[in-house]
Amino acid sequence: MATCSVQEWMDARGEENISPDDSKYHYSEREIIIAESLSNEIREGKTTISLLLQDLKIYIDNGDDLIGISTALKLLLAIFEQIQDISEQQLHFVIDYFAVRIRNEDNHPAYDAGLREIILLFKRISEMNAFNPSESSLIIKSIFALADEKHRFKDLSNAVRQEVYTVVSYFFRQNSHILLKDFGTDKLVAGLLELATFEKKASCLLIVFPLISHISQFWSLGDPQLESLFTSFIRYFPIKIGGLQSESLRLSLEMSNFLTECIVSNNFYASLAFPHFIQILQDHSSMSATTTHEIFIMINTCVKRYSREAVSAWSTNLWNLLKFEVWNSENEDYVEDCLLILQSITTSLEHEKFSHEETHGDTFAKFVTEISNECRDRMVDSPQKFLLSSGRIIHSVASSSKHAFDLVTTTILPSLLALSKDLKLGSERMMLLRVLHYLLRAFVELLDQKDMTSNQAMIETKGALAKFQEGLVEMLSNAVVEFKRITLETSPVEDFENDAKCFFPALESLALLFRIPCYLTRVEEGMIVQELIQILVKSPRNGIIHNEGLHALKKISIHRPTVFVDMILPSLLDELSGLIAFDSKKEFSEIQEINSILNDIADIACHPCLKELDTGFPKGATSSYWHRNFDCFVSHLLQKIDTFFLNKDDICYATATVVALLKGLNIFDGELNSTHIKSATPDPGTLPYEFFWSQILKKALTLNQNFRENSASNSKKQYLDIRQIPNGGDFLEDSFLHLVGNILLIISRSKLNTSDNNIVFKFYNQSLLLENIETKDFVEGLPMHQDVIEPDFMEIPRVSLVSIYPLVGVQPLADDDKYLTKTKIRLGINQNAGNLAKNTILRLLNLDERINSRTRITILYYLQILIAKFHCSRDELKDGGKLLDFIESLVRDSRHKSPQYIQQLYQIIAYMTTASFACYDLKMMRPVFRILCDGLYPEKHDSKTCTLVAQSFRLILAKSRILSEDNYVQVRSLRKGYLLELTKPLFTKYRLYSKLVTQNIGCQHKGKDSYLIALIGILRSMELPLLLNVISIEELVALTLDGTNVSNDDWAKAEYIKLLCVLIRQQPENTEKHIDIIIERMIERTHNTLERPSDANVECRILALEVLRLVIENFGLSLMPFRKVALMAELAVAKDDCHAGVRQAAAQCSLALIYVKV
């Protein structure tokens, strides 16, 4: 009949090649050729589908070869996938044949095989052009026949059932009009439900649920059909699926969503769902908390999705259920769920265009009034029990809409105001104030939801709340006055704090009143602010009263920047001025109060505003409202600094003010989000924090002019100098300059800076020429670090305390490479960073130039940034070579230098080593680490130098505020493994000095101690598994025990004891054999008497006792009796130690020893 025959197809069959989750076969190459050949012959008319089916019958009717049936049917499916144009008669013939086959009324064994192929064939036929939609009825009727009394459908595989549901869903959706006409809704719903009666497979239900949701929503079903459908799917609630956690979670979520759509797909289901859930919840004692929560969530979803009429019919029943959960439940999650449902019911019942004449309007008012009345009665009758819980209920209802709020307020508020006069207990008064806070918070939430203008908000305010304005303000004001009175009392702190807690809700409520437009008069606002400020300044710092007052003023300032600018900030500054005037003798306590007020101002002012000023957009302003308070804070405090500079005795206050500015900047910049950053600079000419930057610089630095004799040009130059104190003649202290530098650091790395609008780039592009400077005070017109242009020109090292930080924090350009080439070009230091580093090193090594420790460390930070951030080790130096070559030459030349020079040189090398490891500079890491190791040799250097070099090893992996991602330095995690590999020679040297017998015992001990100190500086930052890749556990234990005896370095000794704790916890089997030596070493640390004082500090003694406790807990049973006796004696000595922490640790250790089972 054809070039390729059916027999060839049957002979080509192999393994089953269809995926359970795939609706298409994956044919072999031979099968594709055969199917294409037969398809072409059908197209050419050489054969027909009918003839092909006749040829296949010999195989598909053979009940002895079920696999052969599937293979033969697969050929038919493959051909139908190849062709599109088949006559309608041919299609009808195929459909009719296979419909009869599926029904299998004669119980032919062969007809129950190959069902999946037939279903896929039906699906393919339905997509063909010649398919007549009326054939859908024939297909659906045959499929429904599968769910007969023999349960053939139930016995089918999951994959086959999934395909059946897919085909049914397709015809129900695409040809529903024909099916409904031929069968009617009764038979269609019954047929579907018979198919799904026993269904449990998730993949199948993911098809069934959406289909039920579809027909429930779009078909005109009668009540009996809807009840049947509801009964069929509600049994699956709540969804629970076992299996792999991630997969089961995904399936549970997906099925829950589809099941939810079923439940809310028809309003009729409300009459079934609500009573079903109510009945379950009326006795949920046996249910898990998760199931109960899911039911509450489902009820809330139903309330939101059903029609107003459906919800209205069940609103009272739901209220009767939920109120007792709120009043009586001890589970906070249940209470929160119930409150959400009540809010959803109220929202659902209210019509957008509300009319009192409409029935649903009456239902809404009736529902809200019923809740309000019942809550009011409960609060009045039993305030102690029901005030708070009822307050939460009325908040959830009142916050649903303005009309609901008015109904609740009218019902509740008069009774609450009257009740406030009768309550005597502090706890009851606090709960009443909390209820008022709930009401006010509901109203403010409504205002915020609508995002109204001021005029619109004023209209909204003229509702029920306005009727009780006088009584409400009076009640809250009286509470604050009483709160203030308690604060000023001199009774013990615990007593008055407990009394004051009752009035905390009043402070929160007053803060909310400020957010309601025009609710408070200007006079009332001023009086409240003054009371809050008095509470703030008179209460003990860091106490709960102080914190509550601070929180209230902060909230007012964020939402009402006008009040902050006009009232809060001036009042706090007046308090500050009063303290300074009083503090003529500079008493420590008074200075502390001044610092506290400055800190409070920073805490209140330095948060992004949420509203614009009441007066609107300020004239001349170039950016959004969110930083109004911060700008005002900065401006006023900078003016204060100028005032303090006028008097030499007030310089300490200027420093305190800069501390407050730094704290405020930290708070403000840390709270900025992407919204603020996008709206930061609508004017491209305005740089982030430009005013702050320029003004704070003027407070710290000034300009001097110098004539450079050896310059090719005789033009005058400007250089930066430390500002002199007016009328004093002295220069500013390092602490002041350091604070200013840190302010510049935060500004320079702020996210407000962009590639096109970066404050650092602007100031590094300015010229040093005097003729380009308009005035001598134009400090910000100079580059912040003059080394950028003329490395040897900066003559005053203390300027570094300010000038290097912008370079530390500068944000690289967005499209830059890993070496920041474009950024360096923009800064003017490309290919010159190496020279900058070289000159910095020479300045640090100049013994004639007296540089204090703070300045020296700051300059070393600068050197680290040049290496780790700007990769200066790659640059060719002016005199030839690289930075590494220069360092090696300095080390070679240092043999005949003074010990002070050598110590400073190795300090520089230590900081360079840290920077090179941070950025994983392969060309620098090994050489500089080797140089640093050379500094440990006792034969080459004196003991002090060796000890200082050994101590510097702890810098390499230590956390750094400079070498961090905050400053755009990519700290590489790979450095640990590489560093540990380079540390192997140190282990070798340590072992050498441990075993070496020399005539110079002192040199041997110093060498051993130096290597021990150096090693722990690295080991302390390593994970134990990583360590054991380099050193055996036995060697590590021996090294650690040796380290606990190290002399003249308490830090190293403490770290070794910590490492010993880790070893006992994680490697008990390897440390147990060393019990005796461990106990001996730890007793040497803990024994601290007048006759024999300990060589360990307090921290080491406490840690040693922690080791002894671990030994007792882990190995107590193996301790010899004499060792226990000795331990008890030493612990008795430790319990008499002069430090309380040691005594407490010794007591815990003794207790552990007592409880060891003998």
> Nearest 5°: CA angle at 924, between 922 and 927?
110
User: Six-digit token pair at 598?
Assistant: 């400055």
pLDDT of res. 352: 47
Cβ(661)–Cβ(696) below 8 Å:
yes
CA distance 419 to 437: 15
pLDDT at residue 197 is higher than 70: yes
What pLDDT is recorded for position 504?
A: 85
Question: Taking Cα atoms as reference points, which of 773, 799, 774, 770 lies closest to residue 787?
Answer: 799
- Which range (62-71, 168-177, 340-349, 473-482) has the least confidence? 62-71
928 contact partners, CB below 8 Å, separation of at least 6: 884, 887, 909, 912, 913, 916
Torsion from C-alpha of 620, 622, 624, 630, nearest 10 degrees: -80
Residue 999 has pLDDT above 70, yes or no: no
pLDDT recorded at residue 859: 93
Q: What is the DSSP-derived secondary structure letter of residue 268?
A: G
More confident residue, 297 or 768: 297
pLDDT tens digits for range 206-249: 999 999 999 999 999 999 999 999 999 999 998 887 655 677 78
What pLDDT score was predicted for residue 674? 65
Q: What pLDDT band is residue 769 in, cutting at 50, 70 and 90? A: very low
CA–CA dist 684, 680 (Å, integer): 10
pLDDT exceeds cutoff 80 at 877 = yes
Q: Is the pLDDT of residue 784 over 50?
A: no
Mean pLDDT across the stretch 426-450? 85
Instruction: Output the CA–CA distances (angstroms, integers) from residue 263 to 191, 236, 266, 961, in the order listed.
Output: 20, 11, 7, 57
pLDDT, tens only, 529-557: 998 998 888 888 878 888 989 999 999 99
Q: Which residues pair with 722 in a beta bridge?
A: 701
Cβ neighbours of 888 (radius 10 Å):
16
Which alpha helices (H) appear in 882-1023, and where do they start and end? 883-893, 899-918, 922-934, 943-952, 975-982, 984-995, 1001-1019
Give 10's DSSP letter: H
pLDDT tier for residue 788 given thresholds of 50, 70 and 90:
very low
Tell me which of 135-149, 320-334, 473-487, 943-957 is least confident: 473-487
- Over 70: is that where the pLDDT of 829 sits? yes
* pLDDT surpasses 90 at 808: yes
**Confidence band of 648 (pLDDT split at 50, 70, 90):** confident
pLDDT range class, residue 431, cuts 50, 70, 90: confident
- Of these ranges, 378-392, 783-797, 852-866, 1111-1125, the one predicted with the greatest mean pLDDT is 852-866
Give residue 793's pLDDT.
44
In degrees and rounded to multiples of 5, residue 392 shows phi and psi of -70, -35
Lowest-confidence pick of 495-504, 532-541, 738-747:
495-504
Mean pLDDT across the stretch 990-996? 81
Higher-scoring residue by pLDDT: 749, 501: 749
Residue 63: predicted pLDDT: 61
Coil vs helix vs strand at 854: helix
pLDDT: which is higher, 120 or 130 = 120
Q: Judge whether residue 955 has pLDDT over 50.
A: yes
Beta strands in 299-413 (DSSP E): none
pLDDT of residue 665: 94
The residue count for the chain: 1158
| pTM more than 0.85 | no
Q: Over the stretch 375-413, which tens digit does the pLDDT of each residue have?
A: 999 888 888 888 889 999 999 999 988 888 889 988 988
Alpha helices in 421-568 (DSSP H): 426-450, 454-461, 464-467, 469-488, 493-500, 504-513, 522-538, 544-559, 561-563
Task: Give the tens place of pLDDT for each residue, 655-694.
Answer: 999 999 999 999 999 888 766 666 655 455 667 888 899 8
Tens of pLDDT, residues 570-607: 999 998 888 776 655 555 566 788 889 999 999 999 99
- pLDDT at position 715 is 44
Please give the Cα distance from 931 to 906 (Å, whole number).
9
Identify whether 238 is preceded by a cis peptide bond (ω within 30 of 0). Answer: yes
Is the pLDDT confidence value at 1157 over 50? yes
pLDDT at 677: 65
Confidence at residue 277, expressed as pLDDT on a 0 to 100 scale: 93
Give the mean model confidence (pLDDT) for residues 799-822: 90
Q: 3-state secondary structure string, 506-524?
A: HHHHHHHHCCCCCCCCHHH
Q: What is the pLDDT of residue 774?
A: 47
The residue among 595, 542, 606, 540 whose CA lies nearest residue 568 is 606
Tell me how far apart the alpha carbons of residues 640 and 634 are, in angstroms, rounded to a whole number: 10
Cα–Cα distance, 895 to 890 (Å, whole number): 9
Which tens digit of pLDDT belongs to each residue from 1083-1137?
999 998 888 898 889 999 999 999 999 999 888 777 778 888 888 999 999 999 8
- What angle separates helix 158-174 from helix 202-218, to the nearest 10 degrees? 20
Retrieve residue 142's tokens: 């045959």
Please provide the average confidence, as pLDDT, over all residues in the chain: 83
